[in-house]
Structure 1
Amino acid sequence: MTSPALLITRDELLLDDLLRLAAAAGTTLDVAHDAAAALRSWGAASVVLVGADLAEAVASHRPARREHVHVVGPGPVRDGLFRSALAVGAADVVELPAADAWLVELLTDAADGVAHRARTVGVVGGSGGVGATTFACALALTAAAAEPAVLLDLDPLGPGVDRVVGLDAAPHPATGVRWDALVGSHGRLGSRSLRAALPVKDGLAVLTWAPGPPVALEAASVREVLSAARRGHDVVVVDLPRTVDDVSAEVVSRCDQVLLVAGTTVAGVASAGKVAAVLRGLAGDVGLVVRGAAASVPAEHVAGVLELPLVARVPTQRRLAEHVDLGLGPVHSRRSPLSRAARVALDVQRAGRWVA
């Protein structure tokens, strides 16, 4: 099996420390003792750790720019090391032993994610009240029944995915971190740490908003959360706001696929057209879910007007609001319209791009 991380150092003490941390992470290191030899594995390694002792030597070879490069050394950092770190394209300079726990998380995630990245689906409503959050919850709960899944709530003015999936149902509301606990945090977030910190419902990890006024999300925090979520799960579902700001626009661009949920009224289709125009400029693969009765505009006509592939149609589901209010969630029955539509969407999503 290919080693997930490359270490470049001649410092025996540093080598011993990092081998110990790798063992704690349940992985191994590919060790190179000179800069020239390291370049042979530079591009293939999932993570590159450059010892402070060889940072300048590695920089002199002008290695290709890549992600996940870190300069590592004992603290305190010596003068000039940051200049070498910049030259090798490192994301940061890591001091030991202060960063021991962080490095264990890094190496654990590297081992878990050598050939793994979650399928990420964004869900956004074409108009208000169309039930995009409900469909996102149905999609995530259906996925979680078969594989590790997480639901991220990026809509601060939505109903709250915790309420829709039934997390806050009496008598035992689930506990765990919300966005307010993560905004403003700095540094790398481990995938296992994120999973362990989130409330879980029927195998689905959920990140949503705390009660009260929503906090303002920071791009760096959301980016780190999304990255950790993708490393630690097989499916990530993101409930997106209709109004796209800088943060949600970046998330949309990082989604593998996006589903636009549209209604069947003329006004709803007109509103969905505006949202679709925004999504086309941000996402590479946008599909359509049509919810509601076909009395006004049939689903196929909605897809034609919006020029989007029709992934699933969801007829009106009786007693849905009652089931959600009782904490049963939107897919308590596998034969319900939402449950069937969610399975169809997931099957299509696994196959690759949305198809008409």
Structure 2
Amino acid sequence: MAVLLLTRSADLHETVVALCAAAGVEADVGADPSLALGSWSGADLVLVGADVAGEVTALSPPRRGGVHVVGSSVGEGVFRYAVGLGAASVVDLPEGSPWLADALADVGERASPGRVVGVVGGSGGAGATTLACALAQWHATRGPTLLVDADPLGPGVDRLLGLEGRGGVRWEGLADTVGRLGARALREGVPCEGALGVLTWSGFRRRLDVPAARRMLDAAVRGHELVVLDLARHGGPALVELVERCDDLLVVTPATVPGVAATARLVADLRCADRAGLVVRPGGLSDADAARVTGVPVVATLGEQRGLAASVDRGLGPLTRRGPLARAARDLLDAA
């Protein structure tokens, strides 16, 4: 059973069941809370009608996530019952119908959040976007993956993957929306090929703000096994927000004096040395030198890949079956 609705209100019953039907999820409606509580723990989502919220609270059901109190013109007493139930929210209908529809659309999605891997270049031209694309391509053969272009001044990850002509929502479209973003809506709305979805930009006027970044990432981790963030070096507050949410942060640097020096400054600015890993590109310095200067351990050394530019120009993306990028993607994602 997906959704448990407890209510005696015919209007509430009709409204919620219609939303469930539109979302394609099964609803079990109980008019007697004492009889319906047997399904309390097994439902993916529990909706407690404001008309029976007091009765349900008096029954002291076990605390669990995914409980919401729903009703029309709810009063202050309902909020007290919601606190007693440990409810995540009180949804006033019909105003809250769009939010509830998004929540219902997520029913049956991942029970635990997906992994978030951030990739940022320690210096300009380090190859962070190429590595981010390779990681996403590699994991997409195994499960739902979202590649997020969080660099407003970058080339556009859709172009590197040959997806620039695909229809779908871009960052500009998300910025024009408000409220909760559904995981399924995001996964099915972005340009995609197979299990790989891409969230990128549609024009040249690009700006990533914190609210949009937060809403996107909340939905992304609910709907994907892996979310790869191609991060900007100079992203302001939005960069800090996204970096804080990363399970793994990969900093790409060329093993050159200027590259490592710039990387050390970025790491110090982000205060991420304790949870970042260094991916080193060819240069005159050793891995030990790069780690010592930046204070970040080396987790991978990435050699030059022959035919990379030609593969990207042909719309195939940077990843090939064999080569440094494929090996690095496999090792980096399997390491955690």
TM-score by length of 2: 0.83
- Residue type matched to 1:272 in 2? T
Unaligned runs of 5+ in 1: none
Question: Quick check: 1:70–1:92 contact (8 Å CA) kept in 2?
Answer: yes
CA distance in 2, matches of 1:60, 1:217: 46
2:318 is matched with which residue: 321, 324, 330?
330
CA distance in 2, matches of 1:31, 1:288: 55
Q: Does 1:312 align with 2:322?
A: no
Question: Quick check: 2:49–2:70 contact (8 Å CA) kept in 1?
Answer: yes
2:114 is matched with which residue: 98, 112, 118?
118
- Aligned-partner SS, 1:220: helix
CA distance in 2, matches of 1:7, 1:300: 59
1:239 is matched with which residue: 215, 222, 230?
230
CA distance in 2, matches of 1:105, 1:259: 32
Rate the CA distance shift 1:288–1:99 in 2: closer, same or farther, 3 A. Answer: same
Question: Quick check: 1:151–1:238 contact (8 Å CA) kept in 2?
Answer: yes
Question: Quick check: 1:22–1:29 contact (8 Å CA) kept in 2?
Answer: no
1:290 is matched with which residue: 253, 256, 280?
280
Q: Does 1:164 align with 2:128?
A: no
CA distance in 2, matches of 1:274, 1:31: 59
Question: Quick check: 1:218–1:247 contact (8 Å CA) kept in 2?
Answer: yes
CA RMSD between the two structures: 3.5
Cα deviation, residue 22, structure 1: 4.2
Rate the CA distance shift 1:327–1:31 in 2: closer, same or farther, 3 A. Answer: same
Number of residue pairs aligned between Structure 1 and Structure 2:
332
Question: Quick check: 1:25–1:105 contact (8 Å CA) kept in 2?
Answer: no
Map 1:46-65; keep pairs closer than 5 Å.
47-55=45-53
- Aligned-partner SS, 1:111: coil
Q: Which residue of 2 aligns with 1:26?
A: 25
Q: Which residue of 2 aligns with 1:71?
A: 69
CA shift digits 1:42-65 (9 cap, x unpaired): 8x9764433222456778999999
Q: Does 1:149 align with 2:168?
A: no
CA shift digits 1:238-257 (9 cap, x unpaired): 11111242222222222211
Q: Does 1:204 align with 2:179?
A: no
- Aligned-partner SS, 1:110: coil
Question: Quick check: 2:171–2:200 contact (8 Å CA) kept in 1?
Answer: yes
CA distance in 1, matches of 2:102, 2:205: 32
Question: Quick check: 2:53–2:78 contact (8 Å CA) kept in 1?
Answer: no
- Aligned-partner SS, 2:125: coil
CA distance in 1, matches of 2:30, 2:71: 15
Rate the CA distance shift 1:277–1:106 in 2: closer, same or farther, 3 A. Answer: same
CA distance in 1, matches of 2:240, 2:65: 22
- Aligned-partner SS, 2:172: helix
- Residue type matched to 1:339 in 2? A
TM-score by length of 1: 0.79
Percent identical: 44
- Aligned-partner SS, 2:239: helix
Cα deviation, residue 178, structure 1: 0.7
CA distance in 2, matches of 1:176, 1:12: 38
Q: Does 1:109 align with 2:106?
A: yes
CA distance in 2, matches of 1:191, 1:231: 6
2:252 is matched with which residue: 254, 258, 261?
261
Cα deviation, residue 237, structure 1: 0.5
Q: Does 1:189 align with 2:181?
A: yes
CA shift digits 1:75-129 (9 cap, x unpaired): xx25547855885664452414x6556534413413223x332111111111111
Q: Does 1:270 align with 2:258?
A: no
Unaligned runs of 5+ in 2: none
Question: Quick check: 1:165–1:201 contact (8 Å CA) kept in 2?
Answer: no
Q: Does 1:345 align with 2:336?
A: no
Question: Quick check: 1:141–1:202 contact (8 Å CA) kept in 2?
Answer: no
